[in-house]
Amino acid sequence: MQIIHTKVVIVGAGPSGLLLGQLLSLHGIDNIIVELKSAEYVGQRIRAGILEQGTVDLLRASGVGARMDEIGIPHDGFELAYYGKRFRIDLNKLTGGKNVMCYGQTEVTHDLMEARAEKGLATYYESSNVQINDILSRHPSVSFEHNGTSYRLQCDYVAGCDGFHGVSRQTIPEEKRTEIERVYPFGWLGVLSDTPPVNHELIYAKHERGFALASMRSPTRSRYYIQVPSTDTVDQWSDDAFWEELKKRLPKDCADKLITGPSIEKSIAPLRSFVCEPMQYGRLALVGDAAHIVPPTGAKGLNLAAADVGLLHKLLCKVYVDKEEHQFTRYSELALERVWQTERFSWWLSNMLHDFSGDNTESMEKLLFDRFMNAELSFYLSNETGMKLIAEQYVGLSHVEI
Ligand code: FAD
Ligand code: PHB
């Protein structure tokens, strides 16, 4: 068994783990990342596309903003299409100059992996049997196997950045955590294609047939989504069937000019609202999807993960640079405040934009919900105060100051 000493062990090399590693290293705090999958697999996962202002600022501050600033596309607004009518949310005007950046998670991950490799920082990809030990003691450790060797990383703190299915959250005894969850009865079928985007800004479309989203990755690469029942599988959806259904749900002028082509990726993502309380136990902090999931409607998953990282890194700087050890214990309470605000926005937007009729059985509850959500959406879109509330939340709430 190889025993290695470090300050912080980061479990998971998704965007949370890589960004935390980058920020800690900038402040001279040693860290090692342990990841289940291969570097190639991690680098190719297709997920989020929109970065909030706070995420953009954090990436720049961590020294990996150059490529984002070069090829990312700033978006000053987006559209909500509501049974064919189009409303533009002018983010820039409504928030006093803020915007979002269209830059894929795949690119963020690539930039962070490259920066880590350049610095020669240790990352154990393709590790198995990852276990967190003695987390209530002052000397926790993480053990795993890698390339046929057993390792034990002896550390001060563990950052659980291993996503929804990781081991970190399970390390907190069941009776010490509360998991609050809603699973939606539908998913998003997503298609990536090398075709020009149908519009220069994103369009979130509400339609009787279900929700649709027109997004993009570059001027020549589009990302589209449609709401599908959670029982659907990818093989049930040929490219032609996808494009046909998307055209039905987009506003007519967009559908008429939609350019279609072969999909280069097609997948179904389930929709879930989930929070684990607390987000910290002993010397373990849960970060990003390990602690919470939001439905993707407000483009918040990755951004919320980045906000957790921003906070945890500041607290760990207090611990190591200012020698204020107690600061670590503030993490859960401070993080959860913003987490719940973001969960609420993603849930609210999902409720308003999706079709919940599902199995077509009519009940008074379903009718009421449908009518209330239509009224809610048309109310918010009918006045500037309503649109401002949407805009402020879409560009993202400020990161927590400590
Ligand atoms: P993850 O990206 O899940 O990274 C966790 C890492 O930990 C992974 O590399 C994993 O392999 C590793 N790991 C897991 N278990 C272990 C273990 N036992 N030991 C070591 N390592 C482990 N958000 C949006 O805003 N817009 C979207 O369109 C969008 N689409 C999504 C589609 C899918 C299918 C999913 C799953 C998520 C999507 N999200 C989207 C959410 C967004 O991608 C996540 O919020 C973001 O990836 C969170 O980053 P993370 O680093 O916390 O977790
Ligand atoms: C994406 O481009 O993948 C994307 C954009 C906005 C969302 C969700 C996903 O709300």
- Cβ–ligand 1 contact at 377 (below 6 Å): no
Contact by Cβ (8 Å): 249, 212: yes
Query: Would you state the pLDDT for residue 359?
Result: 65
- Which of 200, 223, 267 to mutate for ligand 2's pocket (most ligand atoms within 8 Å of CB)? 223
Please tell me whether residue 128 adopts helix, strand or coil conformation. strand
Ligand 1 atom index nearest CA of 308:
52
Residues making up the chain, counted from first to last: 402
d(CA 153, CA 8): 9
d(CA 394, CA 89): 10
d(CA 136, CA 122): 25
- Which of 58, 162, 300 to mutate for ligand 1's pocket (most ligand atoms within 8 Å of CB)? 162
10-residue stretch averages of pLDDT, the chain, 402 residues long: 98 98 97 98 93 97 98 98 94 98 97 97 98 98 98 98 98 98 97 98 97 97 97 98 98 97 97 98 98 98 98 98 96 98 98 88 87 96 97 96 92
- Cβ–ligand 2 contact at 299 (below 6 Å): yes
296 catalytic, yes or no? yes
For 323-378, the pLDDT digits (tens) are: 999 999 999 999 999 999 999 999 999 999 999 987 667 789 889 999 999 999 99
- Cβ–ligand 1 contact at 12 (below 6 Å): yes
Number of H helices, E strands in the chain: 13, 21
Q: What is the token pair recorded at 152? A: 């034990």
41 catalytic, yes or no? no
From the candidates 15, 75, 266, 313, which is the catalytic residue?
75
How far is the centre of ligand 2, averaged over its atoms, from the C-alpha of 202 (Å)?
8
For 284-336, the pLDDT digits (tens) are: 999 999 999 999 999 999 999 999 999 999 999 999 999 999 999 999 999 99
251 catalytic, yes or no? no
Which helix H or strand E contains 356, and what residues bound it?
Answer: none
Query: Atom 4, ligand 2: which residue's CA is nearest?
Result: 49
Query: Would you state the pLDDT for residue 220?
Result: 97
Q: What is the DSSP string of 323-355?
A: --GGGGGGHHHHHHHHHHHHHHHHHHHHHHHS-
How far is the centre of ligand 2, averaged over its atoms, from the C-alpha of 297 (Å)?
7
- Cβ–ligand 1 contact at 300 (below 6 Å): yes
Nearest CA-CA partner of 47 in 192, 258, 164, 185: 192
Query: Atom 7, ligand 2: which residue's CA is nearest?
Result: 299
Query: Would you state the pLDDT for residue 362?
Result: 76
Q: What is the DSSP string of 138-170?
A: SS-EEEEEETTEEEEEE-SEEEE---TTSSHHH
Region label for 299, one of left (φ > 0), alpha (ψ between -120 and 50) or beta (otherwise): left
pTM here? 0.97
- Which of 34, 169, 302, 393 to mutate for ligand 1's pocket (most ligand atoms within 8 Å of CB)? 302
Q: Going along 278-394, which residue ranges are E strands?
A: 280-281, 284-286, 292-293
Q: Which listed ligand is nearest to 158 at the C-alpha?
A: 1
Burial category of 124 from C-beta neighbours within 10 Å (exposed 0-12, middle 13-18, buried 19 and up): buried
394 catalytic, yes or no? yes
